Amino acid sequence: MILLLGLVLFINLGRSVDAAQEPRKADIIVSLGGDTFGCRLAKARELYHQGYSDSGKIVYTGSNNLFDERWSCSSRKTYLQDGGIDPDDTVNIDETMISNTVEELLFVKAYMLRHHYSSVLFVSHPTHSGRILKFADLIAEYDEHGLRLMVVSTEPRWWDREHFYTDGQAIKESLKEIFKLVYGLIKYNTPLIYYTKYYEKVRTGEWEASLERLERKEHK
């Protein structure tokens, strides 16, 4: 019986980790970090040109560098600019302020509240989407602040939500997501949060100062 239950849970794992949605218009589009090959940024740029950013802003988190030879440039800002997006409409959230998905969600929430935005369209990989939605609900509390979020995914060739177990990389990425979900919930939703770098930055005012620097940069 236990083996059967385990098998059923495993077969349905793809539906658990992939909670990606169809895009709808939002105040801003956010391309999340961890995007070494630029796939998320490319999808975000596509959605931007399709008119999904009501504010005309596109935000990207993490490093400004692109490392894949498929791109003709090495900078995310240049890539967006080459795609016809005004540099004044691009916002890079300082990678030194965030180290994981939870902190990205917390910083984006704070950024949205400062700018009076009420909706956001996140772009990430399909296996990442379920964890984003859970963290936004259980830790970042988007709903409680009246914020609406959607997660739109890239389209990696190796991913098939219904038959993920037929591909080795898909299996590995799905299992990693479960571990990261549990780890994040324990670390940021318990007293352990007081020992995180995030809490230290909030306590010392570095978090708020970074938001203010970003705001000044946008209003130059």
- pLDDT 10s digits, 34-84: 877 788 999 999 999 999 999 999 999 887 776 555 555 567 888 888 889
Kindly list the structural domains of the chain, giving each domain's residue range(s) and its CATH number in brackets, ordered by start: 13-218 (3.40.50.620)
DSSP strand pairing (119-124 vs 148-153): parallel
Does residue 5 register a pLDDT over 60? no
The H or E element spanning position 130 is: helix 126-138
pTM of the model: 0.92
Residue 179: band (very low, low, confident or very high) from pLDDT cuts 50, 70, 90: very high
pLDDT digits (tens, 9 = 90+) for 100-138: 999 999 999 999 999 999 999 999 999 999 999 999 999
Nearest to 151 by CA among 185, 121, 187, 195: 121
d(CA 209, CA 205): 6
